[in-house]
A = this chain, B = another copy of it.
Amino acid sequence: MRRALNLAALGEGRTSPNPLVGAVVLDGAGQLLGEGFHARAGDPHAEVGALAQAGARARGGTLIVTLEPCCHHGRTPPCTEAVIAAGISRVVVAMADPDPRVAGGGIARLRAAGLEVIEAVAEAEALRLNRAFVHRVSSARPLGILKWAMSLDGRTALPNGQSQWISGPEARAWVHRLRAGCDAVIVGGGTVRADDPLLTSRGGRTPEPLRVVISRSLDLPEAAQLWDQAVAPTLVAHGPIGAPEQRQGTARAEATCAVLDRLGVERLELAACEPDPLLEALAVRGCNRVLWECGPELAAAALRQGCVQELAVVIAPRVLGGVAARTPLGNLGLEGLDLVQSWRELERRDLGGDLLWQLEAPQPPADNAKPSIPEASTARPGSTP
């Protein structure tokens, strides 16, 4: 299963809307006969690749696979039938497929055909590997990562607005790798106006992640690196034309749309120009994981609307100071420190002198019906003055 999980990870960032899957076929003596992984949507599933490699010798053997084999016709035929046809006698599965078209049906089909099925082997690792896919299937929203780079004193710019570059080259290269693992990168109109960013993975992923601008005002520049569709695709999301949030007026919004349409930049009109409806639309397009690289107000709105499951914070060992200097987040509406939960550490490491701290959102309060699980040592008690 360790090998199958490693195989699965090879598809990282390229399988959406599908999950990452790896598979290994062994004969009765435990000898490796074949292996495979899902490389991208539309390509053969992992099990099919592993079975093909094993060939006729798979008969009577064991299939080890990180995700329950599918039992439905999608872009490819059901894997369960391929497994049965190959004469496999035992299937070891890490996790059930949360996709409602499968959801245990694959395992049931295999058992009905007389195969032995062992479930939940290394399930935690498999769930972790596919957390973005699981999140999208269960919430109809992609998993959101919010990234910011700040100084040691929590500044994202000098008081004069200068913000490039707070972090060093190693941290910036890491951000390119982070983008390569995401299906879309989201900024607000303010970031386009202030920084004219490129937002690509610098070739780390082909095709590049979708670059998304969410703009309330539709007051966007005529020229911007994001408008060059030869580099990577860009989507501009906005509210209905003529909405009051278009503070520069309807004529300005219409002019921006005309420029974007002429340049071939895709537009998406949302019923409300907010983070959550945007993510809903991106999930429909098959995004499992998106990266928020936006300014403080949009970041705060994304957090408030539950659109952020992970944080990636780069802290540079420099002090900037400044009462008026920009900070990572706008108002979150928090009223008491005892209400502020701790995020849980995923990783913490050095990036050429800068510090990278990745965390995941606090667990929601436990369901009363479930047994309460004591929190890890990072939990903190309420305010005790």
Pick from A208-216, A225-233, A253-261, A319-327 the stretch touching chain B: A319-327
Contact with B along A150-191 (1 / 0, CB 8 A): 111111001110111110110000000000000000000000
Q: Which residues of B contact A165 (CB under 8 A)?
A: 337, 383-385
Q: Which residues of B contact A343 (CB under 8 A)?
A: 152, 317-319
Are the C-beta atoms of B337 and A166 separated by less than 8 Å? yes
Are the C-beta atoms of B381 and A169 separated by less than 8 Å? yes
Are the C-beta atoms of B330 and A342 separated by less than 8 Å? no
Pick from A57-65, A77-85, A96-104, A348-356 the stretch touching chain B: A348-356
Q: A337-B166, A343-B318 are in contact. Are A353 and B331 (CB under 8 A)?
A: no
Q: Which residues of B contact A327 (CB under 8 A)?
A: 153-155, 323, 325, 327
Are the C-beta atoms of B332 and A320 separated by less than 8 Å? yes
Q: Is residue A205 contacting chain B, with contact meaning CB distance below 8 A? A: no
Select the residue from A150, A153, A316, A337 with max chain B CB neighbours within 10 A.
Answer: A153
Smallest Cβ distance from A357 to chain B, in angstroms?
Answer: 7
| Shortest Cβ distance from A146 into B: residue | B319
Q: Is residue A241 contacting chain B, with contact meaning CB distance below 8 A? A: no
| Complex alpha-carbon distance, A340 and B311, angstroms | 26
Smallest Cβ distance from A319 to chain B, in angstroms?
Answer: 6
Are the C-beta atoms of A162 and B355 separated by less than 8 Å? no
| Complex alpha-carbon distance, A62 and B224, angstroms | 74
| Complex alpha-carbon distance, A315 and B341, angstroms | 14
| Complex alpha-carbon distance, A270 and B328, angstroms | 39
| Complex alpha-carbon distance, A217 and B194, angstroms | 40
Interface residues of A in 328-376 (CB under 8 A from B): 328-337, 340-345, 348, 352-353, 355, 357, 359
Smallest Cβ distance from A347 to chain B, in angstroms?
Answer: 12
Smallest Cβ distance from A325 to chain B, in angstroms?
Answer: 8
Q: A318-B342, A319-B332 are in contact. Are A154 and B150 (CB under 8 A)?
A: yes
Q: Which residues of B contact A296 (CB under 8 A)?
A: 323
Are the C-beta atoms of A342 and B359 separated by less than 8 Å? no
Q: A321-B329, A322-B331, A342-B353 are in contact. Are A337 and B164 (CB under 8 A)?
A: yes
Q: A168-B380, A343-B318 are in contact. Are A158 and B355 (CB under 8 A)?
A: no
Q: Which residues of B contact A332 (CB under 8 A)?
A: 319-322
| Shortest Cβ distance from A328 into B: residue | B153
Q: Is residue A300 contacting chain B, with contact meaning CB distance below 8 A? A: yes
Q: Is residue A281 contacting chain B, with contact meaning CB distance below 8 A? A: no
Q: Is residue A313 contacting chain B, with contact meaning CB distance below 8 A? A: yes
Q: Which residues of B contact A345 (CB under 8 A)?
A: 317, 353
Q: Which residues of B contact A117 (CB under 8 A)?
A: none
Are the C-beta atoms of A378 and B353 separated by less than 8 Å? yes
| Complex alpha-carbon distance, A305 and B335, angstroms | 36
Are the C-beta atoms of B317 and A160 separated by less than 8 Å? no
Can you list 16 A-B contacts with CB-CB less than 8 angstroms, sorted by A residue number? A153-B327, A154-B327, A155-B327, A165-B337, A317-B342, A317-B359, A318-B342, A319-B332, A320-B332, A320-B337, A321-B332, A322-B334, A325-B327, A342-B353, A353-B377, A353-B380
Q: Which residues of A does B touch, CB under 8 Å?
A: 148, 150-155, 158-160, 162-166, 168-169, 296, 300, 303, 311, 313, 315-323, 325, 327-337, 340-345, 348, 352-353, 355, 357, 359, 377-381, 383-385
Q: Which 8 A-B pairs have the closest CB atoms?
A: A154-B154, A321-B332, A353-B378, A321-B329, A168-B380, A153-B328, A153-B329, A317-B343
